[in-house]
Amino acid sequence: MSQTKLNLDQSKIDRARALSKEITQPVNAYIKQHTTVAIERATLRMLGADGVTPDDVPVPNAIVNALGSDIQYGASKYYINALIRKNLSVEQLNAEIAKGLDIAKLELTDMSLIQEKAKELVAGFSHRVKGNVAYRTSKISEHKEKENAPLLYLIVATGNIYEDVQQAQAAARQGADVIAVIRTTGQSLLDFVPYGATTEGFGGTYATQENFKIMRKALDETGNEIGKYIRLVNYCSGLCMPEIAAMGAIERLDMMLNDSMYGVLFRDINMYRTFVDQKFSRMINAFAEITINSGEDNYLTTSDAYEKAYTVTASQFINEQFAYDSGLPAKLMGLGHAFEMDPKIENGFLYEMAQAQMARELFPEAPLKYMPPTKYMTGDIFKGYIMNAMFNFIAKSTNQGILLLGMLTEAIHTPFMQDRFLAVENARYILNNTKDFANDIEFKKGGIMQTRAQNVLDETIEFMENINEKGLFDSIEQKMFAEVSRPKHGGKGFDGVHEKAAEYFNPVYDYLELELGLKN
């Protein structure tokens, strides 16, 4: 563990981790027995399924729709069978399916032939993704990326991917290390991924594989121009979580917002559906070495940041365990938290620093994702600039990993260019002037910050004991996170969950389990 400033009790930290294992165990048992339409579509994509029908139905959706309840056996079995039966290439079969071929009606060939062909297709996917990982690693090494400083994260979201490119390249030249393309409003509720480049979004830009490809190319060009590897982020959440993970792996995205709890609480995605989806999506992200960002910070938009800080810490522990269970190492866990206390609170800055330092000490290897003030951001630009400066100071002095820059035009998805520039300048000034501050200070023994952190850890354990007693799904239903209640069998997407048959076949899932060391 890294050097402690908060004097946290290691036995309590160990207890919290033990509880997170107990909490996640029954959820994992359910996950193991089920698949979803999104998992099957993602698998098809990784095997090569692509394209769209004349009615704009993506080919993976057309396949899964035609199979109906037979996806309990694994959609890839039928797709690979069609390749063999029709003696077609992947591209040719995709075209035939787009024209109306129903592969569900083809007689199944010998399973050994399907397994042999599956190995070939999985190897093609694996080669592409491993090549992406190698390229990213080489570029980061080539540009001698800075160490011990948070990555500066800026957003674009015009609705038009080509305009996004201009905005993203400008942000990169201004100093951003990470560019996040916010999805169009409501895309997380779509049970399909739109096809091709898009130019009309609402509060964001559609996440499509072609859009990923366009933005990746643009950021690579700008990165080479300025001598820095620019990371690309999108939103791997909602009803198409595994598919977007697959697309990101193929097109070399670097970070993905990836959190089932966020989808359940803030998008009313069915909890059974999204936890099953999350496991596979995180396996894909782990294999592609994509950093996930989780959404605990959102809890503080509906809960009080001072009173309910323990819910964030508890969720971080639980998210960590789910990530480990998916083969995701700590170095790829961008666990979320935020600077969201009411500015009127006396000593609020000390409480914010205690919370951020506690996250750093509890998760020493994680590239923590630290969110700026939003809930109490003010139209007073001078006060707002000070709030963002205080946030940046805490980020650097507690060694956060991913710094989402605060904007004066908070709540505008594509902020004014000058506000982006000011946000970068604010952060750069503070990061430079406090470069070694974290290594040069100690916290007063028994002082406000130590006491606050120790109390929050105690509250976290008590909260997790309660969750463990009730079960995670019942706890969500009973409004224990973010003051939001979601019914276990309600929400969106539950009809897309299917129990696996004994003969279930998913060659990508099997391959990833072996690669990530998850096979018993």
Give residues with Cβ within 8 angstroms of 170, minimum separation 6: 417, 420
Catalytic residue from among 254, 297, 325, 419: 297
Q: What is the rounded CA–CA span in Å between residue 467 and residue 450?
A: 26
**What's the token pair of residue 365?**
């290897």
In Å, how far from its chain's centre is CA 86?
38
Question: CA torsion sign, 76 to 82 to 83 to 85?
Answer: positive
Candidates 308, 369, 396, 492; catalytic one: 369
Cβ(158)–Cβ(168) under 8 Å?
Answer: no
Cα 474 to the center of its chain, rounded Å: 24
Q: Are 517 and 507 in contact (CB under 8 A)?
A: no
CB-CB contact of 99 with 136 (8 Å):
no
What CA–CA distance (Å, rounded) separates 358 from 398?
9
CB 467 within 8 A of CB 23: yes
369 given a catalytic annotation: yes
To which H or E segment does residue 439 belong? helix 437-440
Give burial (CB, 10 Å; 0-12/13-18/19+) of 439.
Answer: exposed
Q: Is 509 a catalytic residue?
A: no
229 is an active site residue? no
Q: What DSSP state is assigned to residue 196?
A: S
Q: Which of 280, 213, 270 is nearest to 243 (CA)?
A: 280
Catalytic residue among 153, 262, 272, 370, which?
A: 262
CA pair distance 473, 491, nearest whole angstrom: 13
- List, in order, residues 6 or more apart from 25 with CB less than 8 Å away: none
Number of H helices, E strands in the chain: 20, 11
Do the beta carbons of residue 437 and residue 397 sit within 8 Å? yes
Catalytic residues: 262, 297, 369
